[in-house]
A and B are shown apart, each in its own frame.
Chain A
Amino acid sequence: MLRVLFFARLREQLGCESLELASEPGIDSLAALRAALSERGPVWKEALADANLLAAVNQSLAEPGTPLVSGDEVAFFPPVTGG
């Protein structure tokens, strides 16, 4: 099981704050998860195609190649704008 969170503009575009995905053998990296989520529909494909999006695995910024295992918390979000 993977828990996936979306924030800010991306959350609004997707109309989704969080979801849980059953672990599948093919979804073993951040890039693979992103590709799988893009298949959920045209809105998902377009929103997740944004090259500026950032991602975190277990609350640390992560790269496309970051491996995923069951129980991980993954988040996708736009570039941050705090301060």
Chain B
Amino acid sequence: MRVQEAAFSPDQLQRSLPAAGAVVTFTGNVRDVGAGGAVDALQLEHYAGMTEHSLQAIAEEAAARWVLTAAHVVHRVGRLDAGEAIVWVGVCAAHRAEAFAACEFIMDALKTRAPFWKKEHGPQGARWVDARASDVARAQRWQLTRTGDANGSPGG
């Protein structure tokens, strides 16, 4: 788990993962448009300390739920320009079902539980990003399914 101000290279992070039958990675980038209009940059605030604990707990939950050989998360804080990578998740497992499911679970949990807050900066000024009900719904799906049910993937 890493929380850092510095930019990172998703390619380089992927190369750092151990060899595995299945490798699933996710990269989230800063969009150039938000609910309030054009976005030039984001300011990412976080709760130092709790952020790291929270990401660690999420990765441990994933490792308890699926058989994984690696689960890594890198998240940036501070100022990011549109187009820059903000979050990266890399999961390794023997087979794809576990790797896909765990990667999605980690992102859904991070979106609703890890204490980060985005403020968009654009031509209209600055505004805090509102949490989305759809993110909460996505995260709740994982509470309805347990390992063993269709590879632990959310139903519906």
Name the distance in Å between B116's Cβ and chain A's nearest Cβ.
3
Query: Is the Cβ of A80 less than 8 Å from the Cβ of B128?
Result: no
The distance in angstroms between the C-alpha atoms of A77 and B131, with both chains bound, is 12
Within 8 A of B (CB), among A31-67: 52, 56, 59-61
Among A9, A80, A83: residue with most chain B CB under 10 A: A83
Q: Within the assembled complex, what's the spacing in Å between the Cα atoms of A82 and B112?
A: 8
The residue on B at minimum CB distance from A77 is B115
Report whether A82 and B75 are in contact in the complex, using a CB–CB cutoff of 8 Å.
yes
- The closest CB in chain B to the CB of A56 belongs to B50
A7 lies within 8 A of B117 (CB): yes
How many chain B residues touch the partner (CB < 8 A)? 27
Please tell me the number of chain A residues within 8 Å of chain B, measured between CB atoms.
17
Interface code B11-30, partner A: CB below 8 Å = 1, 0 otherwise?
Answer: 00000000000000000100
Mark out the residues of chain A between 62 and 78 whose CB falls within 8 Å of any chain B CB in the assembled complex.
Answer: 75, 77-78
- The listed residue (A9, A52, A56, A61) touching B128 by CB distance below 8 A is A9
Q: B61: CB under 8 A from chain A?
A: no
Q: Determine which of A8, A56, A59 lies in contact with B117 in the assembled complex, contact meaning CB atoms within 8 Å.
A: A8
Q: Is A79 an interface residue (CB 8 A)?
A: yes
User: At the interface, yes or no: B118 with Cβ under 8 Å from chain A?
Assistant: yes
12 residue pairs A–B, Cβ–Cβ below 8 Å: A8-B128, A56-B47, A56-B115, A60-B50, A78-B117, A79-B131, A80-B115, A81-B116, A81-B128, A82-B87, A82-B110, A82-B116
Contact A81 B130 (CB under 8 A): yes
Most chain A CB within 10 A, of B87, B111, B117, is at B117
Q: Which of these, B28, B50, B54, contacts A83 with CB under 8 Å? A: B28
Instruction: Tell whether, in the assembled complex, residue A81 and residue B117 are in contact, meaning their CB atoms are under 8 Å apart.
Output: yes
Cβ contact within 8 Å between B116 and A83: yes
